[in-house]
Structure 1
Amino acid sequence: MKKILIVSSVSRQFYLFEQGNIEVLKSLGYEIHAAANFNDVNERLDTLDIIRHHFDIERSPFSFKNSKAYYQLKHIMKSEKFDAIHCHSPIGGVLARLAAKAVGNCPVIYTAHGFHFYKGARFINWAIYYPVERLLARYTDHLITINKEDFKKANEFKAGQIHYVPGIGVDTDAFNNTALNREMKRMELGISDDTFVLLSIGELIKRKNLETLIRAIVKLENQNFVLLICGRGVLESFLKELTVSLEIQEKVRFLGFRNDIKEICIASDVFVFPSYQEGLPVSVMEAMSAGLPVIASEIRGNTDLIKNGVGGYLLSPDDINGFSESIQVLLEDAKLRKDMSVKNKDEVKRYDSSIIKNKMREIYSSL
């Protein structure tokens, strides 16, 4: 049986983003191994048919532990004699490609889930990550990028083959399931039928820029709304305290990590996503699949998905007034929301998970 090793920094990569790839690899007859730091282990991993290998990788490029992790990973590769390697994350991609080069002949796939150098990124990002990715592209048989900006930049590199595969896709049919009942989910959440529901999904970290959204809703004229925030993160306490200081704590609901995102999307009216940096956000694709207009930051990834004025609005990440005004427009115009809903549900079909799986099947088969 053929054996492939999927490498990432954290194990949640496998159940959040690799299920489609694992399904394709199984159908091609691969025995699937997964290497990561499994300190973030979750019971959802048990649903995957993978063989686990722990190594002490750290996400920080400055961690000395990564030198040890490199030797651990090289040992795993030597012991198992894999037929292929598929690596993810900046540090996972670095260590896996260096280890694969040291061990010997084995085709390597690297998926860049959003280069850390991009239009508007800090100089230090370009200084650290750009030369590393450019160099390691020489050790990469298939370099996969998930948005158009990264694909264009990757074509400056000397990788074996460079592909544009837009993320992991989204199961658009799952959002058309009649079992997803808007009224019942609202009742469960304690939200009345006439309340306007804003939704945002993502880690509560600086990169997701939820402070801009919270400050924007303070300015809304119509106060018959609620903002649902799904996710956890280090800024949770800060953001909750901010709502208190702005006296809008009754308008913002922190729902934490959720397994019912589809239902929550269906129960909402508008999706707001003011992030500073993205590769190709799955949460935006899910919102589009649910027929939600999207108000988002005008950044890489978001601009691939949303056409300004068609499926929603694109704004500078720090434009508090712009976010507030865009929300106000959609709050008051049900017909515009409906038109944008139709546009997004049609546009997101291009990113259906079945299309992504077919693209990955072609790449894996070519090995």
Structure 2
Amino acid sequence: MHAVIITNRVKRYVNGFKIMIEPLMELGYEVTWAGDFTEFKEDINAIPCNIYQVNFRSNPFNINNIKAYFQLRRLFNEKQVELVHCNTPIGGVLGRICAKQAKIKRIIYTAHGFHFYEGAPLINKILFKKGEQYLAKITDTLITINNEDYQAAKKFILHSNGRLFLTHGAGIDTDITNKLDLQDVEKKRKEIKVPLMAKVIFSAGELNKNKNNEIIIRAIAKLNNPNIYYVLCGEGKLRDKLEKLAKELGVEDKVIFLGFRTDVLELLQAVDIFAMTSFREGLPRSLMEAMVAGLPCIVSNIRGNRDLIHQEKGGYLSHPKDVNEFKNSIDKLVNDLDLTIQMGEFNKQVVKKFDIKTVKDEMKKIYME
């Protein structure tokens, strides 16, 4: 039996790939992973299955995607494939079309976040929704990872006898903090230039428009509390703009840009509050990592975040454009240590159901359908 996993750009062999590849191999499939491995940063020989280079590009109008289409066609012609599991928007489109043309027995697609989400531009709700409705008709198994997408997908018409599933995302090691060689908080805070007694809000991810980091900068400026710091981990094209905003608001010494880091899990042990203020998410891994670390979370009230954070139990959900809501949430947490501990412990319990072992079992059962 041969199965093909299709993804876009691959940099590391992370949980999101393990939960697809490893269950298939346990079921006796020979697995080929088709994706763009040109920027892979680990030992590629450590990947336990076959790999096949495909020149996917995230921009649907990039000419390389034409080449990617023919590369997939060649792969399906060379091998007797019984199952294809497609991921990412471009991989989901090209993979399903090529699999249909090759008359592959079972076509699976995981939606990591439909583009016609609540609050999306009208064109997304029309164009992308129509596209997903059309592709659903050639999809045998559709997997969603958050409740909003699951409810939307219920209205799709899948290929004959097709099945729809809601899983717990890509999975996370909920026991990871017990395996870390943690530095003490004082040493870590000294390293990132934050006072030991300060209240620290932390965000991780690319500094782009979607992540909406400026809302926290504006919120702490409104609070005007010299004991509150905001630490951002990640790079992106908006870094200069965010640094300029912090300076304009007079909080440049309270907003710290760490750039790219490989010690995010350790940093989470040295901060007080996690913030995720995005306009759009699927099921954010960085938020789950913060929950595993036992942090209270202030997040935007959007899909994915709503699946993870319970209002006033694990943190606060606010409109992504409402500075005052975020300001009030921060103010409550920095002034109530017992509340932060209580919320953090609640999150540690909630996130257990998203453990990678659970997700692997879910995927294995889906493959066995």
For residues 47 and 195 of structure 2, the distance between their equivalents in structure 1, rounded to whole angstroms, comes to 38
For residues 125 and 92 of structure 1, the distance between their equivalents in structure 2, rounded to whole angstroms, comes to 18
C-alpha distance after superposition, 1:86-130 (max 9, x if no partner): 111111100000000011233111100010011111111122211
Structure-2 residue corresponding to 1:5: 4
For residues 359 and 48 of structure 2, the distance between their equivalents in structure 1, rounded to whole angstroms, comes to 20
For residues 44 and 214 of structure 2, the distance between their equivalents in structure 1, rounded to whole angstroms, comes to 32
Structure-2 residue corresponding to 1:327: 330
Asked if the contact 2:145–2:167 (Cα under 8 Å) also holds between the matched residues in 1, the reply is yes
For residues 57 and 180 of structure 2, the distance between their equivalents in structure 1, rounded to whole angstroms, comes to 43
Tell me how far 1:13 sits from its aligned partner.
Answer: 7.4
For residues 130 and 272 of structure 1, the distance between their equivalents in structure 2, rounded to whole angstroms, comes to 30
Asked whether 1:174 is paired with 2:176, we answer yes
Structure-2 residue corresponding to 1:285: 288
C-alpha distance after superposition, 1:29-52 (max 9, x if no partner): 333322223343322655422332
13-22 vs 92-101, greater mean Cα deviation: 13-22
Distance 1:47 1:265, change over 3 A: farther
For residues 269 and 46 of structure 1, the distance between their equivalents in structure 2, rounded to whole angstroms, comes to 39
Asked whether 1:258 is paired with 2:261, we answer yes
Tell me how far 1:219 sits from its aligned partner.
Answer: 1.5
Tell me how far 1:212 sits from its aligned partner.
Answer: 1.3
For residues 205 and 187 of structure 1, the distance between their equivalents in structure 2, rounded to whole angstroms, comes to 27
- Which of 311, 315, 331 aligns to 1:312? It is 315
Q: Which 5+ residue runs of structure 1 have no aligned equivalent?
A: none
Structure-2 residue corresponding to 1:233: 236
Counterpart amino acid of 1:95? Answer: L
Asked if the contact 1:278–1:301 (Cα under 8 Å) also holds between the matched residues in 2, the reply is yes
Aligned length: 365
Counterpart amino acid of 1:287? Answer: A
Counterpart amino acid of 1:169? Answer: G
Asked whether 1:31 is paired with 2:30, we answer yes
Structure-1 residue corresponding to 2:145: 146
Q: How does 1:148-167 map to 2 (within 5 A)?
A: 148-159=147-158, 160-167=162-169
Tell me how far 1:16 sits from its aligned partner.
Answer: 6.0
Structure-1 residue corresponding to 2:112: 113
Distance 1:267 1:317, change over 3 A: same
Tell me how far 1:181 sits from its aligned partner.
Answer: 4.2
Distance 1:28 1:181, change over 3 A: farther
Distance 1:234 1:47, change over 3 A: farther
SS in 1 for 2:222: coil
Counterpart amino acid of 2:335? Answer: E
Structure-1 residue corresponding to 2:366: 363
Counterpart amino acid of 1:348? Answer: V
Counterpart amino acid of 1:102? Answer: Q
270-279 vs 217-226, greater mean Cα deviation: 217-226
TM-score, length basis structure 1: 0.93
- Which of 195, 203, 207 aligns to 1:204? It is 207
For residues 334 and 129 of structure 2, the distance between their equivalents in structure 1, rounded to whole angstroms, comes to 42
Backbone CA RMSD of aligned residues: 1.9
Asked whether 1:89 is paired with 2:88, we answer yes
For residues 27 and 257 of structure 2, the distance between their equivalents in structure 1, rounded to whole angstroms, comes to 42
Which runs of structure 1 show a deviation greater than 6 angstroms over 4 or more consecutive aligned residues? none
357-366 vs 181-190, greater mean Cα deviation: 181-190
Asked if the contact 1:221–1:328 (Cα under 8 Å) also holds between the matched residues in 2, the reply is no
Distance 1:27 1:16, change over 3 A: closer
For residues 31 and 188 of structure 1, the distance between their equivalents in structure 2, rounded to whole angstroms, comes to 46
Distance 1:81 1:119, change over 3 A: same
Distance 1:182 1:307, change over 3 A: farther
For residues 133 and 87 of structure 1, the distance between their equivalents in structure 2, rounded to whole angstroms, comes to 13
C-alpha distance after superposition, 1:119-149 (max 9, x if no partner): 1111111222111111111211211000011
SS in 1 for 2:215: helix
Asked if the contact 2:12–2:42 (Cα under 8 Å) also holds between the matched residues in 1, the reply is no
197-206 vs 28-37, greater mean Cα deviation: 28-37
C-alpha distance after superposition, 1:153-178 (max 9, x if no partner): 11111221100002112211112447
Counterpart amino acid of 1:346? Answer: Q
Distance 1:235 1:221, change over 3 A: closer
- Which of 186, 206, 230 aligns to 2:189? It is 186
Counterpart amino acid of 2:165? Answer: H
Asked if the contact 2:12–2:40 (Cα under 8 Å) also holds between the matched residues in 1, the reply is no
C-alpha distance after superposition, 1:205-232 (max 9, x if no partner): 1111112122222122321132221122
- Which of 303, 307, 314 aligns to 2:306? It is 303
For residues 256 and 30 of structure 2, the distance between their equivalents in structure 1, rounded to whole angstroms, comes to 43
Q: Which has the higher helix share?
A: 1
C-alpha distance after superposition, 1:53-97 (max 9, x if no partner): 222222122334323321221111211332321111111100000
Asked if the contact 1:61–1:91 (Cα under 8 Å) also holds between the matched residues in 2, the reply is yes
For residues 347 and 13 of structure 2, the distance between their equivalents in structure 1, rounded to whole angstroms, comes to 28
Asked whether 1:65 is paired with 2:68, we answer no
